[in-house]
Amino acid sequence: MAQLSLDIESVKGFLDPEEGDALYQYALEASRTAPCFEIGAYCGKSTVYIGSACRESGGVLYSLDHHRGSEEHQPGEAYHDADLLDQESGVFDSFREFRRTLSRAGLEDTVVPIVASSEIAGRGWVTPLSMVFIDGGHSYESALCDYRTWSGHIIQGGFLVIHDIFPDPEEGGQAPYDIWKKALASALFEEVEIVQTLGILRRV
């Protein structure tokens, strides 16, 4: 079980505890060799799992999110949370809540937040990564951009982890599953396992 310094149920988010434990275990192994990287942090639930593993191993987690919310987080949409609207501007902003989570979890010396889009952050990125967790926007364009931008930085033996894998279209959107299939078809990755909707691949 993951060793966390706060009650994970108190952190807003859409990650099942079993998926979180899997993230923690893979990050614990991976983070000993190179930094971990996540795309789509929201209020920091996955960040707590991966970051806690990195803290334990003496590693680092880069956590990327523009913190303006995905399509489904906007006012009027299914996953909108009015608590996350900036009172002054009326714009969605999960960064303040994200920082609060990092502080509560004691992860400010382990996690490096990057507040930007995948596309901009990826333009100058050259650091090899031991694990990339993709949990960003669920449009096909977003998922494909995240996959194309970050998967090439994963070192041999490192992990590509994708959230919200639904092989059955009745169960959920297909973009994460599409990039999962793309990764397998590339022959650069092999399947390790799927934990609920969390798909784990290894860079061969």
Q: And the tokens for 121?
A: 């952050």
- Residue 195 has φ and ψ, to the nearest 5°, of -110, 110
- Of the candidates 129, 98, 128, 92, the residue with the CA atom closest to the CA atom of residue 114: 98
Tokens standing for residue 144: 């494909």
* Interaction between residue 163 and Mg ion (CB under 5 A): yes
The SS3 assignment for 92 reads strand
Nearer to Mg ion, 34 or 137 (CB): 137
How far is residue 61's CA from residue 51's CA, in Å, rounded to a whole number?
6
Q: Token pair for residue 21?
A: 């434990």
164 binds Mg ion (CB under 5 A): yes
Work out how close the CB of 119 gets to Mg ion at its nearest, in angstroms, rounded to a whole number. 19
Closer to Mg ion by Cβ: residue 16 or 56: 16
3-state secondary structure of 134: strand
Nearer to Mg ion, 107 or 175 (CB): 175
Q: Out of 66, 67, 138, 153, which one is annotated catalytic?
A: 138
Tell me which amino acid residue 181 is.
K
Half-sphere exposure at residue 32, Cβ-oriented, CA atoms within 13 angstroms: 7
Stretch that binds Mg ion, among 73-81, 93-101, 129-137, 183-191 (CB under 5 A): 129-137
The CB-of-40 to Mg ion minimum distance in angstroms stands at: 7
Rounded least distance, CB 88 to Mg ion, Å: 28
Q: According to CB under 5 A, which one of 19, 38, 93, 135 is a site residue for Mg ion?
A: 135
65 binds Mg ion (CB under 5 A): no
**Closest residue by Cα to residue 167 from 155, 157, 175, 177:** 177
- Regarding 19 and contact with Mg ion (CB under 5 A), the answer is no
Angle at 77 between CA 100 and CA 104, to 5 degrees: 10
- In the complex with Mg ion, the residue whose CB is nearer, 34 or 195, is 195
Give the binding range for Mg ion (CB under 5 A) out of 78-86, 90-98, 103-111, 131-139: 131-139
Residue with Cβ nearer Mg ion (108 or 171): 171
138 is an active site residue: yes
Positions marked catalytic: 138
Please give the residue ranges that form the binding site for Mg ion (CB under 5 A).
135, 163-164
